[in-house]
Amino acid sequence: MIHISSQDYCGQYDSLGRQITEWDYDLGFWFVLPEFIDDYKSGNIDWYGNDSDFPAGCSRDEVDAEGKIISVSAISKKHKERIIFFASGDFPVKTLEELIDDRYNIVGIVTSKDKHEFKDSTNNSVSQIGNKHNIPVIIPKDINDDETYEWLCGMKPDIFCVISYKKLSDRVIEIPTMGSFNIHASILPFLRGAAPINWALRLGFKETGLTAFWLSSKIDSGNIICNTKIDIDESDNYQTLYWKLSDMSAEFTEMVLEKIISNNTDMTICQSVPLDNEIFKAPKPDADYTKHWTQIGYWNLKNLLRSIYPKDGLYLNICIMKKHKLGEDCEVIKEIICKVFDCEILTNIEYHGNLHETDNKTYLRVIFDEPYRTDVWCDIKEIQQAGKKRMKIADFMRGVEVWFANPDYDIYVTDY
């Protein structure tokens, strides 16, 4: 188990720069350093900054004779209930920030190694936010091992709040006194799994949302606490819908916590066992997710592309072969692996016997495998060659014109 902290955030300081408290990672408690216990109890400490920013507060009656701080001061927190926040990636960041800003009692954070969902993301990570606010942060090698279990028990949590994190074992789920809940980015029981945002777009859903449910032994199958919905716009892609739901999650999570803390969750809904239908499943996209994209029907292509844009694209294989004389074997000169990130559907384009059309300079079109039609084409707008940056198709064609314009070569363009 990896503990994330820095010297700047391992304790609380007074206005003279003296460290007053320290976190004991092994025991899971804040301690007042021995020489300051009396001053802490009597309230004679001039804290650096705003004491409400500190998880230990400055209450005089919540420290024992050995300096152990028994609980977080109720004066500095909205609720006394102790919450451990399980999260990873960018999606839960705004929720965590708002829970802290609104003074919910986040006593610990469990996360994974920092990883952004999109290359242009400038968010702080979950662990950085925890360190900033002096909240203990751990990155377990195995969330369900004994060491992590003991640490979680030692934190004496009331609630586990889980967003975009791994599956918890039954014994971990049962640790908090008030329960463990998850925020899932779909309207359950639809789109259970790791990629509900991708699949909502891929399947052409007109709306999606967030669902809060009690964790159980089966993934995304616990009793539903409540949900909230949002329309999916025609212009939405994976990135825009991801951030919309991420923004919604902050207020929604606070509403769920208020329900739990006020014991207002009796009207939970038992999820029915779904039929074996794709609208109930949302597995993480793999190599087959975009395979043979020219054969799925052009009316499906838009949804497929927007379900991965701008994080990923559609594979395209360009094979350059030297023309051969009768009886000679074909010789592959070059193979270019690309990804298509933007394209337009064109119809009524005359078919001349090739699977692609190009002027060798400004455009590249790939024909769709449409029943009874040979006039439907994918006009590629933005492409990325393996190992290179994304570029407009005209820029790409300038780099391969030497092959495309040479009559001694045959060009085969396929959907990989």
12-16, 206-210, 214-218: range with lowest mean pLDDT: 12-16
E strands in 185-283: 207-214, 224-231
Say if residue 26's pLDDT is above 70: no
| pLDDT, tens only, 254-302 | 999 999 999 988 778 888 766 567 778 999 999 889 988 888 887 788 8
Where does the pLDDT of residue 57 fall: very low under 50, low under 70, confident under 90, or very high at 90 and above?
very low
State residue 402's pLDDT score.
85
Average pLDDT of the chain, as a whole number:
84
- 129: region left, alpha or beta (phi > 0 left; psi from -120 to 50 alpha): alpha
Instruction: Give the contacts of 93 (CB within 8 A, at least 6 positions apart).
Output: 87, 123, 124, 125, 126, 129, 246
Instruction: Give the contacts of 407 (CB within 8 A, at least 6 positions apart).
Output: 323
**Helix (H) or strand (E) segment spanning residue 411:** strand 409-414
Got the DSSP string for 83-94? EEEEE-SSTTHH
Say if residue 50's pLDDT is above 60: no
E strands in 294-406: 314-322, 331-346, 356-358, 364-367, 377-385, 390-392
Cβ count near 368 (within 10 Å): 24
Angle at 362 between CA 357 and CA 366, to 5 degrees: 30
Cβ count near 332 (within 10 Å): 10
Where does the pLDDT of residue 7 fall: very low under 50, low under 70, confident under 90, or very high at 90 and above?
very low
Candidates 3.40.50.620, 3.10.180.10, 3.20.20.70, 3.10.25.10; CATH matching 293-414: 3.10.25.10
Say if residue 404's pLDDT is above 80: yes
**% of the chain surpassing 90 pLDDT:** 51
- Say which amino acid occupies 393: I
Residue 356 contacts residue 364 (beta carbons within 8 Å): yes
State residue 47's pLDDT score.
67
**Helix (H) or strand (E) segment spanning residue 191:** none
**Helix (H) or strand (E) segment spanning residue 23:** strand 21-24
Compute the distance between CA of residue 38 and CA of residue 67 in angstroms, rounded to an integer.
9
State residue 264's pLDDT score.
86
Whole-structure pTM value? 0.80
**Helix (H) or strand (E) segment spanning residue 30:** strand 29-32
| pLDDT, tens only, 61-98 | 456 666 665 544 433 567 889 999 999 999 999 999 99
| pLDDT, tens only, 165-203 | 999 999 999 999 999 999 999 999 999 999 999 999 999
Q: Give the domain ranges of the chain.
A: 293-414
| pLDDT, tens only, 313-360 | 999 999 998 877 665 667 888 899 999 998 888 887 777 777 788 888
